[in-house]
Amino acid sequence: MSTRYDVIIIGSGAGGGTLFHALAPTGKRILLLERGGYVPREKANWSTRAVNLEGKYNTTEVWRDGDGRDLHPHTNYYVGGNTKFYGAALFRLRREDFGEIKHHDGVSPAWPIGYEDLEPYYTRAEQLYHVHGERGVDPTDPPASAPYPHHVVSHEPRIQQLSDDMARLGLRPFHVPLGIMLDEQNAQRSRCIRCETCDGHPCLIDAKSDAQVVCVDPALAQHPNATLLTGARVTRLLTSASGREVTGVAVERDGAAETYSADIVVVSAGAINSAALLLRSASDRHPRGLANGSDVVGRHYMGHVNSVLLALSKCPNPTVFQKTLALNDFYFGSPEWEFPMGHISFVGKVDADTLRAGAPAIAPGWTLDLMAKHSMDFWLTSEDLPDPDNRVSLDRDGRIALRYTPNNEEGHRRLIDKVKHLMKQQTKCGVHGHECHEGLFARNLYLGQRIPLAGVAHQNGTIRFGRDAKTSALDANCKAHEIENLYVVDGSFFPSSGAVNPALTIMANALRVADHLRGRLA
């Protein structure tokens, strides 16, 4: 097989997979290098025990935390990257997120591009990933040039009741924009069967819009110039004598070392692995790591301030697909709190095995099974701020070390209080009265109340883009300031993270960078 290409893309997730799909029609020779293989199609895809309790698809790689202790990251190395496991909630950042925003703990910095620069690509990404949604209901919704390509995914009765209760209180709940291939008008022909094991699980029947199903496989099927190499872990990038160009991509495949080269090299290994790869590629010309004259590579790691909260009622919650409702009324604050708080939504419906994985405090008088049958399972996200000391680095053995001190937690605490308050004001239950709603219990898939360091699902920010080469590693096109043919298109480029899920922004930006690269390749 050839070792020389026009473009090499490293990593096949939201960023790399989308870029691969966008560049394949150019006819240029494109090589996609992915360290993992395909997720095996097996019944365990939909087993909460296998996925959540046994961590069957998690990497077994061991990282280090800030104190040098072992860290077992909850992340996945497969074709399609973490989109194979994501909940497919595909949000645009808010228009304001692209500017500077004052938070309780500091400032969320502005992006070098505005919302309008990304808007056409958000529209294209929503079409590519089959997003179901409705414009204009969410009060923080940014303007859009086209409607969503598909109608919203409906609420099941218990979620509709909560939505009605919220609306009665003057709030504006809305349907989560979702990338699943569900046709509710024609259930018999619908690819998606609306099951309970979507968020966190691979889709056994390829009905989730993930990067493998929507981008990588179609590009390979339609374009012989597009090639995928699985099991190909990139270990290092090599540069020319001047240090201005990447001249080689060193790969470990089946235990053997191989080197590939291309006119353009795009790194998209996820925000943590991409930073580690650049740091590992240090050389005489780049002593602090490749493209790291600014010393920002690996710094400003963000992952959102996230919590999962269980609201227990005496009445059961029979919902199957729970992740349909969201609330952004407190995204930018409230009359009594002038700072942003964040986003309220749901995780997929939990069961006893999923709860067991988090070893939650059991509510008095409840078993895990009962708790799972009676809970509504909220997902709360607040923005964390880019702190240069929250960083990815390498330990003496070249292993990834992740140091993170949480920040901006007060807004999150207030967001939790908002959910508690809302749950108390639900409609009186016909059977149990107001006492039906027992209270709110903190739980997460791991231990403790908040999603811990190992929960790196929303990782971003480690190779930030910007206008100033002293404070950023990438320019506004996501090209490394210091290297003529090196780009980064995964979540690393975010200078700030907003408080909605990141994947659609990564996909849209990959489409934007693809347009730029098409110009270079012409």
Q: Which residues bind ligand SF4 (CB under 6 A)?
A: 180, 192-195, 197-198, 203, 205, 207-208, 321
Rg (CA), the chain: 22
Q: Whose CB is nearest to ligand FAD? A: 13
Is 479 within 8 Å of 487 (Cβ atoms)? Answer: yes
Find which of ligand FAD, ligand SF4, none residue 501 binds, CB within 5 to 8 Å per kind: ligand FAD
Residue 50 is given by DSSP the state I
Strand arrangement, sheet containing 70-71: 70-71, 63-65, 400-403, 391-394
Instruction: Report the nearest approach of ligand SF4 to the CB of residue 437 (Å).
Output: 27
Q: How far is the CB of 175 from ligand SF4 (least distance, A)?
A: 15
Q: Which does 192 bind (CB under 5 to 8 A by kind): ligand FAD, ligand SF4, none?
A: ligand SF4
Residues in contact with 321: Cβ distance below 8 Å, sequence separation at least 6, in sequence order: 153, 156, 194, 195, 196, 198, 348, 349
**Partner whose binding site includes residue 207, from ligand SF4, ligand FAD, none (CB under 5 to 8 Å by kind):** ligand SF4
In terms of DSSP bridges, do strands 375-382 and 343-346 run parallel, antiparallel, or are they unpaired?
antiparallel
Dig out the tokens for 184 from the structure. Answer: 């509710």
Residues 6 or more apart whose Cβ sits within 8 Å of residue 448: none
Residues that bind ligand FAD (CB under 6 A): 10-16, 33-36, 77-78, 81-83, 85-90, 200, 233-234, 268-271, 273, 277, 457-458, 490-491, 501-504, 506
C-beta of 19: minimal distance to ligand FAD in Å? 9
Looking up tokens 């296998």 gives 50
Which CB sits closer to ligand SF4, 132 or 280?
Answer: 132
Give the shortest CB-308-to-ligand SF4 separation in angstroms: 19
Could you say which of ligand FAD, ligand SF4, none residue 198 binds, taking C-beta under 5 to 8 angstroms by partner kind?
A: ligand SF4
Nearest alpha carbon to residue 505 among 14, 13, 9: 14
Smallest separation, CB 321 to ligand SF4 (Å): 6
Minimum CB–partner distance for residue 38 and ligand FAD (Å): 11
Q: Please, which residue, 74 or 323, has the CB nearer to ligand SF4?
A: 323
Structure tokens at 420: 């508690």
Positive or negative, the Cα torsion across 347, 351, 353, 356?
positive
Decide which of ligand SF4, ligand FAD, none touches 277; Cβ closer than 5 to 8 Å per partner kind.
ligand FAD
Strand partners, 37: 78
* DSSP-assigned letter for residue 38: P
User: Is the Cβ of residue 39 or residue 118 nearer to ligand SF4 in the bound state?
Assistant: 39
Half-sphere exposure of 490 (CA within 13 A, CB side): 30
Q: Which of ligand FAD, ligand SF4, none does residue 200 bind (CB under 5 to 8 Å by kind)? A: ligand FAD
Sequence-distant (6+) residues with CB within 8 A of 7 are 23, 28, 29, 30, 31, 262, 263, 264, 265, 266, 517, 521
**Residue 185 main-chain phi, psi, to 5 deg:** -75, -25
Task: State the binding partner of 150 from ligand SF4, ligand FAD, none, CB within 5 to 8 A by kind.
Answer: none
Q: Which is nearer to ligand SF4, 197 or 227 (CB)?
A: 197
Residues 276 and 234: their CA atoms lie apart, in Å, by 11
**C-beta of 17: minimal distance to ligand FAD in Å?**
7
Select from ligand FAD, ligand SF4, none the partner in contact with residue 36, using the beta carbon and a kind-dependent cut-off of 5 to 8 Å: ligand FAD
What's the burial of 96, exposed, middle or buried (CB within 10 Å: 0-12/13-18/19+)?
middle
Least distance to ligand FAD, CB of residue 361, Å:
23
Residue 215 CA to residue 213 CA, distance in Å, equals 6
- Closest to ligand FAD by CB, 86 vs 321, is 86
Tokens of 76: 């996945």
502 touches which of ligand SF4, ligand FAD, none (CB within 5 to 8 A by kind)?
A: ligand FAD
For residues 36 and 360, which CB has a smaller minimum distance to ligand FAD in the complex? 36
Tokens in use for 198? 């979507």
Shortest distance in whole angstroms from residue 45 CB to ligand SF4 = 8
> Whose Cβ is closer to ligand SF4: residue 85's or residue 493's?
85
**Residue among 11 and 386 whose Cβ is closer to ligand FAD:** 11
305 binds, among ligand SF4, ligand FAD, none (CB under 5 to 8 A by kind): none
Minimum CB separation of residue 488 from ligand FAD in Å reads 9
Closest C-alpha among 387, 513, 516, 521 to residue 19: 513
Contact 473, 87 (CB under 8 A): no
